[in-house]
Amino acid sequence: MSNVVDVLLSGVFAASILFLVAAGLQVVFGVLKIFNLACGSFYALGAYVGVSAVNWSLAAGLPRPLFVLALVGGGLALAFVGPIVERLLRTVYDRDEAFQLLLTFAVVLMLEDVTQLVWGTAPYSTGALYLSYGQALILGSTVPVYNLLVIGASVLIAVGLGLVLTRTRWGRIVRATADNREMAEALGVNMRRVYVQVFTLGTVLGTLGGALVIPSTTAISEMGIELIVQAFAVVVIGGLGSMRGALVGALIVGVLRAVAIATRPEVEMLLIYLIVIGVLVVRPRGLFGGAAA
């Protein structure tokens, strides 16, 4: 029993991080119709900046239990990357999506070296902070409280995103743009501004995901390109452009991977890609495809 809970909880933890990155991918795809390969790089960037932010702020006298604030601050501070990359992508909005994809690939290449340039090639971690909130006993299995915090934060962000997109004026504008760009433009929506805002939102979701995951692992330079293929699996399974798809897809990928690792480690990602291919073949729009962002 405790084993099952262990596996499930680690799966849900992975899923909550995956959801953040995938949600960033989705919101950008939904509105800009660009599959942003660089969202994995934003995640890596968030992780590195998260570590540095924690180390600085602890050295500057931040009480240890408040290190989460430094992480979140670091993730949010990276928002400035969004408009820069969006400015680059703006040059190819009217081109075939192959060029847009390749331009985001160029950003992946550049950001990979930028992280190496700034932080070096050695793994980076926040050390023992991970367990500083202690462990909780749930149904006979011990879980780091930090994991529960991240899961909670992710749920909060999911709910918040849902509310913003459905209940606010800005959300309605974003969804209208995703549904029908010409129509929204005709109604006087400032497309350029919406694009920048949406892309920045996508960026922050990625960097926040990276910042939040980092206490539980170590930052390495390949983490971005490794995560993007998982996020890719999530959005394909869930359906491109759909927020509900990101949520369900993240749960499927996160939990299945955790189960596979615990029971049959040799099938791990193999299983995920088989599901991805299955979904693409049977239902190319994914489980929730076609739904608005």
179 binds other proteins (CB under 8 A): no
Of 31-39, 62-70, 75-83, 123-131, the window that binds other proteins (rule: CB under 8 A) is 31-39
128 binds other proteins (CB under 8 A): no
Helix (H) or strand (E) holding 121: none
263 binds other proteins (CB under 8 A): no
| Residue 236 token pair | 């394909």
CB of 165 to other proteins, least distance (A): 19
182 binds other proteins (CB under 8 A): no
Count the neighbouring beta carbons within 10 Å of the beta carbon of residue 221: 20
Contact 190, 10 (CB under 8 A): no
Please identify which residue in 18, 49, 81, 103 interacts with other proteins, judged by CB under 8 A: 103
Instruction: Classify residue 222 by burial, with Cβ atoms within 10 Å: 0-12, 13-18, 19+.
Output: exposed
142 binds other proteins (CB under 8 A): no
For residue 26, CA distances in Å to 36, 84, 111, 115 come to 9, 19, 20, 24
Q: What are phi and psi of 93, to 5 degrees?
A: -60, -30
Q: Which of residues 226-255 bind other proteins (CB under 8 A)?
A: 229, 232-233, 236, 240
Contact 186, 46 (CB under 8 A): no
Distance, in Å, from the CA atom of 152 to the CA atom of 39, rounded to the nearest integer, reads 22
How many CA atoms does the CB half-sphere of 93 hold within 13 Å? 14
56 binds other proteins (CB under 8 A): no
81 binds other proteins (CB under 8 A): no
Of 52-60, 109-117, 134-142, 206-214, the window that binds other proteins (rule: CB under 8 A) is 109-117
270 binds other proteins (CB under 8 A): yes
Please identify which residue in 267, 287, 291, 292 interacts with other proteins, judged by CB under 8 A: 267
- Interface with other proteins by CB under 8 A: which residues? 33, 35, 37, 88, 91-92, 94-99, 101-103, 105-114, 116-117, 225, 229, 232-233, 236, 240, 265-270, 273-274, 276-277, 280-281, 284-285
